[in-house]
Structures are given as structure tokens and as C-alpha cells.
């Protein structure tokens, strides 16, 4: 069984704490994506799992067995790296067969058969006699995968395996990798700093920052219920709008607008004074666009509505990203971005009314960054 358990896993390099007290359970056959900015400790975590780095403290279990002192060959894992590390002088057949080099219990004929079987699974059976320099990037990536899966391991470890491919191929390979993982039912730990990969491929995402685990949850939950400001900002494109302010008896009070908070939200806020209001650009509804820039009659606005000016319209095909500023305060920190359907006719210079639905807002403690609602 390929379930993985990490308990209090820590890795120091001199004064640098690359991974800090990481505890994480990964289910058998789960596709877990480790994400976070450069230097957050993703690769070091993966390398410890693989046996390429020794933990400073903490424990690693795979299938219930303690792994800390096991050499990589005895961990029943296979790794795929960003640089495919194929042997240039070997054919595709020999490169894939190399994955079986350390395996016992196969006759030579069985090894050959297994290589062909894997090549067929990956759609590269017709390339078996080519050398790596006669292959495209995507084909090389498949050979690297072939070398990993040929051993039928319990666990795949993948470190940015798609980052050398162009955007179109990357999207194709994402789907292929998911299908392959379904078909082979192998626990997979996949490292990337690309949040689209994380969102589209993961059963669960583990978000890291500064060596520490920030949240581990489904993509849906990381997006809709981020634990803290870091996760809220890291997940979601365009980035979540964050507005700093304080609380009054019944509302969030920003520099340029107040936003009423429901009683249950006020209860979660408790006696915190400094807050950050988070609103996903997709959750802002833009209504009532007009080119009329006569002074706004704010009294006519509903509780959850704001009057804003459109300063930039970024067309993205089926969607537009609007940059919105407060009338007469174009450079204010609490300017917002909103996503609208592409057919929505809004142009730069329009004055619009936007609605921020109360069930879509996030409220964070400004001091600790923790989500309070
Ligand atoms: P990236 O996305 O850039 O690959 P990462 O999240 O994978 O980053 P790691 O490579 O795990 O991050 O590095 C975590 C921290 O540990 C960084 O500060 C890095 O500089 C440091 N580090 C990693 N390997 C070593 C090493 N062999 N010696 C010293 N410091 C290291």
C-alpha cells in the first residue's frame, strides 16, 4: 500500500530551515500536489521522501514502514524530475529498461515485454529504437515517465515534471498524467509552483511557505476556505482582492468604503480591531455601467454596493479583468479587480456599481493573517 505519513519532518541546512516540522498524511492512491513559492521547501520534502536527503528530525513512513534509514532503491518509489535525465547514448527502449535495472525477479524476456507494455501505455511504442535527441520535449517526458512506471512502484514522486514543456503540451500532459495516475492507481506526490497544475490535478493541495505547511485541503477548499492570507493570495488567478481596515460595531471600515458584516461574521471577528477583507475578483458583480461621471449619489447604493471607476479592461477571451478604483482616488490601496463575462460591455472610463455578495467575503485577522471567517 502506498500511503505516506510524515511526522514532524524537519530539514536544516546550516542556519536555513528548509522544512519545518511538517506533518502530513497522504492516502493510498491519492494525488497530492505540493505547492508554494520558490524556496518554500517543496523539493527538499520530496527529496527526503525519495531518500536523497536525510531528515534532521521527524519520521517518514511509506505503507506503514519506517523509511528514514532506507536507501532510495528500497523505498518502492519512482521519481520523475524536471530535467528528464535520460541517457543520451541509450535508445528509448534501453532508457525505459534501465528503470528495471535494480529490480529482481524478472527474466530478460520479461523485462523486454514490460518495456513494450509501458511504451504502449504511454503511446511511444513506435519510438523505442530512437535516441533521446531524436524526440520532442513531450516524447522525452513520456520516456522519463516510462522509466519511472516500468517498475510498478507504490509511490510516484514528481518534481516540476512539466515545466520544460510549452503551454499547449503542458496542458495535454496534465490530462495524460492524471489519466495515467488513475489507471495505475499509484500514490503520487507532485511538486510544482504552478497553481493551475495544482488546481487541476490534485486530489488535495498542500500549500507550503517558509518550510511550513499552511494548509492541506482539496483545491476547492483552498480556494473557497483559505486558512490564512498566504493561501488566499497564493491560490486563485487573478489574485484575491485584499483590503485593510478596522471594524466598527457592525461593519468593516476601509479607507474608502464601509462594508456591513452579518452578525455571525461579527461574532467570529470578536474583539479583533484590525482586519483584512478578502474578495475574489470572480465574486464581484458589476452592474449598471454608465459613462456618466456626475457625482455619485451614494445614498442610492445598496448596503453591499460600491460605486467605482473602470481604469483598465484586460480582455481574456471569454472573460474581462476590470481594474476598478474609487472615484477621485485612482491610486488608493483598496482599488479592486473584478472578473466579468467577455460579453459584458464595460469600457475604460465607465463608472460602475459593483456588488460584493456577503456570502462570498473572507475576513482575516490583519495581525496574524489567520482567516476568521
Ligand atoms: P524551488 O521552487 O525554487 O525549487 P523549493 O520550494 O523546492 O524551491 P527547496 O529547494 O526545497 O525549495 O529549498 C528550501 C530552502 O532550502 C531554500 O532556502 C534553499 O535555498 C535551501 N536549500 C535547499 N537545498 C539546500 C542545500 N543542499 N544546501 C543549502 N541550502 C539548501
- CATH no. for residue 68? 3.40.50.300
Residue 54 in contact with ligand 1 by CB distance below 6 A: no
What is the CA(281)–ligand 1 centre distance, in A? Answer: 32
Question: Do 205 and 107 share a structural domain?
Answer: yes
What is the CA(44)–ligand 1 centre distance, in A? Answer: 6
Task: Provide the β-strand partners of residue 244.
Answer: 276
How many CA atoms lie less than 13 Å away from 232 in the CB half-sphere?
Answer: 25
Atom 28 (ligand 1): residue with closest C-alpha? Answer: 13
The pLDDT value recorded for residue 17 is: 97
Q: Which of 210, 234, 258 represents a domain boundary (last residue)?
A: 234
Question: Probe ligand 1: pick from 34, 39, 53, max atoms within 8 Å of CB?
Answer: 39
Q: What are phi and psi of 272, to 5 degrees?
A: -65, 140
Residue 37 in contact with ligand 1 by CB distance below 6 A: no
Q: Does the interface ipTM go beyond 0.95?
A: yes
Question: Probe ligand 1: pick from 22, 42, 55, max atoms within 8 Å of CB?
Answer: 42
Residue whose C-alpha cell is 510549452: 166
Question: Do 273 and 225 share a structural domain?
Answer: no
Question: Do 165 and 44 share a structural domain?
Answer: yes
Q: Which of 216, 234, 252 represents a domain boundary (last residue)?
A: 234
Question: Do 251 and 208 share a structural domain?
Answer: no
Atom 19 (ligand 1): residue with closest C-alpha? Answer: 39
Residue 371 lies in a domain: no
Nearest residue to 309 via CA among 346, 345, 348, 351: 351
Residue 38 in contact with ligand 1 by CB distance below 6 A: yes
Ligand 1 atom at shortest distance from the alpha carbon of 14: 29
Can you give the CATH number for the domain in which 272 is found?
2.40.50.140
- With H, G, I as helix, E, B as strand and everything else as coil, classify residue 354: strand
How many Å apart are CA 160 and CA 193, to the nearest integer?
Answer: 8
The pLDDT value recorded for residue 177 is: 86
Atom 15 (ligand 1): residue with closest C-alpha? Answer: 18
Question: Do 263 and 139 share a structural domain?
Answer: no
Residue 15 in contact with ligand 1 by CB distance below 6 A: no
Q: Which of 212, 234, 256 represents a domain boundary (last residue)?
A: 234
Q: pTM for the whole thing?
A: 0.89
Ligand 1 atom at shortest distance from the alpha carbon of 47: 11
Residue 348 lies in a domain: yes
Q: Which domain holds residue 317?
A: 241-365
- Averages of pLDDT over runs of 10 residues in the chain (373 residues) are 95 97 97 95 95 96 95 89 84 92 83 91 91 90 89 90 82 86 90 90 96 97 96 94 94 90 94 96 83 57 87 88 83 82 78 92 97 94
Residue 41 in contact with ligand 1 by CB distance below 6 A: yes
Atom 22 (ligand 1): residue with closest C-alpha? Answer: 18
Question: Do 252 and 220 share a structural domain?
Answer: no
Question: Do 180 and 34 share a structural domain?
Answer: yes
How many Å apart are CA 271 and CA 251, to the nearest integer?
Answer: 13
Beta strands in the chain (DSSP E): 4-13, 16-26, 31-35, 57-62, 65-66, 77-80, 155-159, 187-192, 204-209, 212-217, 241-247, 251-254, 258-260, 274-279, 285-290, 305-316, 319-325, 336-341, 351-355, 362-365
Residue 108 in contact with ligand 1 by CB distance below 6 A: no
Question: Do 129 and 67 share a structural domain?
Answer: yes
Residue 211 lies in a domain: yes
What is the CA(369)–ligand 1 centre distance, in A? Answer: 25
Question: Distances in Å between the alpha carbon of 273 and those of 144, 257, 361?
Answer: 54, 16, 18
Q: What are phi and psi of 76, to 5 degrees?
A: 60, 40
Question: Do 250 and 228 share a structural domain?
Answer: no
The grid coordinates of residue 344 equal: 459584458
How many Å apart are CA 36 and CA 206, to the nearest integer?
Answer: 8
Question: Do 155 and 58 share a structural domain?
Answer: yes
Q: What are phi and psi of 249, to 5 degrees?
A: -60, -40
How many Å apart are CA 24 and CA 65, to the nearest integer?
Answer: 15
Q: How many structural domains compose the chain? A: 2
Residue 34 lies in a domain: yes
Question: Probe ligand 1: pick from 33, 43, 79, 81, max atoms within 8 Å of CB?
Answer: 43
Residue 212 lies in a domain: yes
Atom 24 (ligand 1): residue with closest C-alpha? Answer: 44
Residue 330 lies in a domain: yes
Question: Do 251 and 155 share a structural domain?
Answer: no
- With H, G, I as helix, E, B as strand and everything else as coil, classify residue 140: helix
The grid coordinates of residue 88 equal: 543520451
Question: Do 269 and 249 share a structural domain?
Answer: yes
The pLDDT value recorded for residue 343 is: 62
The pLDDT value recorded for residue 206 is: 97
Question: Distances in Å between the alpha carbon of 233 and those of 40, 42, 222, 313?
Answer: 15, 18, 10, 22
The grid coordinates of residue 32 equal: 497530492
Residue 64 lies in a domain: yes
What is the CA(211)–ligand 1 centre distance, in A? Answer: 9
Amino acid at each position: 500500500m502506498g500511503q505516506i505519513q510524515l511526522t514532524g519532518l524537519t530539514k536544516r541546512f546550516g542556519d536555513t530551515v528548509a522544512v519545518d516540522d511538517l506533518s502530513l498524511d497522504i492516502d493510498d492512491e491519492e494525488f497530492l500536489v505540493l505547492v508554494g513559492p520558490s524556496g518554500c521547501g517543496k523539493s527538499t520534502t520530496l527529496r527526503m521522501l525519495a531518500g536523497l536527503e536525510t531528515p534532521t528530525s521527524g519520521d517518514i513512513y511509506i505503507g506503514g514502514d519506517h523509511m528514514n534509514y532506507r536507501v532510495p532503491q528500497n523505498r518502492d518509489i519512482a521519481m520523475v524530475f524536471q530535467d528528464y535525465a535520460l541517457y543520451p547514448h541509450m535508445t528509448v527502449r534501453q532508457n525505459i529498461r534501465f528503470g528495471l535495472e535494480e529490480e529482481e525477479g524478472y527474466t530478460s524476456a520479461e523485462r523486454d515485454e514490460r518495456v513494450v507494455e509501458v511504451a504502449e501505455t504511454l503511446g511511444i511504442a513506435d519510438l523505442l529504437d530512437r535516441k533521446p535527441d531524436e524526440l520532442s520535449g513531450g516524447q522525452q517526458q513520456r520516456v522519463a515517465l516510462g522509466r519511472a512506471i516500468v517498475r510498478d512502484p507504490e509511490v510516484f514522486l514528481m518534481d516540476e515534471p512539466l515545466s520544460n514543456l510549452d503551454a499547449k503540451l503542458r496542458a495535454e500532459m496534465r490530462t495524460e498524467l492524471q489519466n495515467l495516475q488513475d489507471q495505475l492507481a499509484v500514490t503520487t506526490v507532485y511538486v510544482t509552483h504552478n497553481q493551475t497544475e495544482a488546481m487541476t490535478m490534485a486530489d488535495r493541495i498542500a500549500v507550503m511557505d517558509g518550510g511550513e505547511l499552511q494548509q492541506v485541503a482539496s483545491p476547492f477548499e483552498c480556494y473557497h476556505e483559505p486558512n490564512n492570507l498566504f493561501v488566499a493570495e497564493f491560490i486563485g488567478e487573478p489574485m484575491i482582492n485584499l483590503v485593510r481596515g478596522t471594524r466598527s460595531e457592525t461593519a468593516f471600515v476601509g479607507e474608502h468604503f464601509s462594508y456591513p458584516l452579518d452578525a455571525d461574521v461579527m461574532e467570529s471577528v470578536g474583539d479583533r480591531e484590525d482586519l483584512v477583507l478578502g474578495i475574489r475578483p470572480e465574486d464581484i458583480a458589476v452592474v449598471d455601467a454608465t459613462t456618466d461621471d456626475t457625482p455619485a449619489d451614494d445614498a442610492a447604493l445598496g448596503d453591499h454596493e460600491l460605486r467605482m471607476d473602470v481604469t483598465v479592461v484586460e480582455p481574456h477571451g471569454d472573460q474581462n479583468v476590470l481594474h476598478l478604483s474609487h472615484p477621485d482616488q485612482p491610486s488608493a490601496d483598496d482599488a479592486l479587480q473584478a472578473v466579468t463575462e467577455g460579453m459584458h460591455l464595460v469600457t475604460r472610463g465607465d463608472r460602475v456599481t459593483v456588488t460584493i455578495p456577503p456570502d462570498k467575503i473572507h475576513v482575516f485577522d490583519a495581525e496574524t493573517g489567520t482567516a476568521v471567517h
